[in-house]
Amino acid sequence: MAAAADPQELLALASEAARRAGALLCERFADGARLGVASKSTPTDLVSEADLASQRAIRELLSAMRPDDGFLGEEEGADSAGTSGLQWVVDPLDGTVNFVFGVPLWCVSVAVREGQRTLAGAIYAPMQDELFTAARDGGPPLCNGAGILAAKPRAERLDEALIATGFAYDTAVRGAQAGVVRGVLTAARDIRRCGAAALDLAWTAAGRFDAFFERTVMAWDTAAGALLCECAGLEVHTLAQRPGLPGGILAAPPAFAAELLALVG
């Protein structure tokens, strides 16, 4: 078994991979994102040629630098265990629908985990040139190498909180989610839906949102962002599957995490 690098070394590689993929995606975004688009699970679940090219670029770099590590990526059924005990978890383009429609809210998420324990993660938003990073036991998360400054004091009560969320591709699940959102809207200050779960988590860690919850997310959507939120002092909870609703994630301040969890869990 290959020796594992420390979390800071892993974070440096995650950051390089995210930035490299982000530069590639910016070229395609400028050239016309609607080219080379197909549907996956439903007509609203899109994948572009850019998603595939981004994942290939990330995997090429990681394979060259750490060939014994495993890899789990959203596209092309990429899932390998490796022999080192570490696995990279990658969303090469989170927010594909935004990307395809020319909305500049999308990102690249690269994390590395040992078992189910994420050691380091980087989320890069190329259109804002913001790289959010965190390493386990490495202190608070950073943005572009500096401490994250909250855009506002984080709410201490749910009725003061700005909550981010997202919706499933499946229309039946969306119908069930509508009922949950109705309850949150009456309890919180407001809700935002930006269309990229990893970016939502990064912005929650940064204090731009007070909390985030979403169902139907996968490991590549949340691995880096959940670590960012944990390092920012937020509670991160798994949302269990329930009738009509798949499992998911919630990140919120300790002050009202239980209250929000009771509404959405």
Name the residue among 121, 54, 115 with its Cα closest to residue 82. 115
Structure-derived torsion over alpha carbons of residues 215, 216, 221, 226, reported in degrees to the nearest 10: 30
Q: How far is CA 60 from CA 71, 96, 218, in A?
A: 11, 21, 22
pTM of the predicted model as reported, rounded to 2 decimal places: 0.92
Domains contained in the chain, CATH given = 7-147 (3.30.540.10), 158-264 (3.40.190.80)
Predicted local distance difference test score (pLDDT) of residue 101: 87
Full DSSP string of the chain: -PPPPPHHHHHHHHHHHHHHHHHHHHHHHHHHTTTTEEESSSTT-EEEHHHHHHHHHHHHHHHHH-TTEEEEESSTT-EEEESSSEEEEEEEEE-HHHHHTT-S--EEEEEEEETTEEEEEEEEETTTTEEEEEETTS-S-EETTEEPPPSSPPPSSGGG-EEEE---SSHHHHHHHHHHHHHHHHHSSEEE--S-HHHHHHHHHTTSSSEEEEES--HHHHHHHHHHHHHTT-EEEEEPPBTTB--EEEEE-TTTHHHHHHHH-
Predicted local distance difference test score (pLDDT) of residue 46: 43
One pLDDT digit (tens) per residue for the chain, 265 residues: 445 579 999 999 999 999 999 999 998 887 654 555 554 455 444 457 888 899 999 999 999 999 999 999 987 666 788 999 999 999 999 999 899 889 999 999 999 999 999 999 999 999 999 999 999 999 999 999 999 866 578 899 999 999 999 999 899 999 999 999 999 999 999 999 999 999 999 999 999 999 999 999 999 999 999 999 999 999 999 999 999 999 999 999 999 999 999 999 8
Q: What's at 2, amino acid-wise?
A: A
Q: What's at 146, amino acid-wise?
A: A
Predicted local distance difference test score (pLDDT) of residue 49: 82
Predicted local distance difference test score (pLDDT) of residue 77: 61
Q: Decide: 172 and 244 in contact? Cβ < 8 Å.
A: yes
Predicted local distance difference test score (pLDDT) of residue 1: 43
Name the residue among 168, 199, 198 with its Cα closest to residue 181. 168
Distance of CA 53 to the CA centre of its chain: 19
Q: How far is CA 191 from CA 182, 185, 211, in A?
A: 10, 7, 10
Predicted local distance difference test score (pLDDT) of residue 13: 98
Distance of CA 188 to the CA centre of its chain: 23
Structure-derived torsion over alpha carbons of residues 47, 53, 58, 61, reported in degrees to the nearest 10: 160
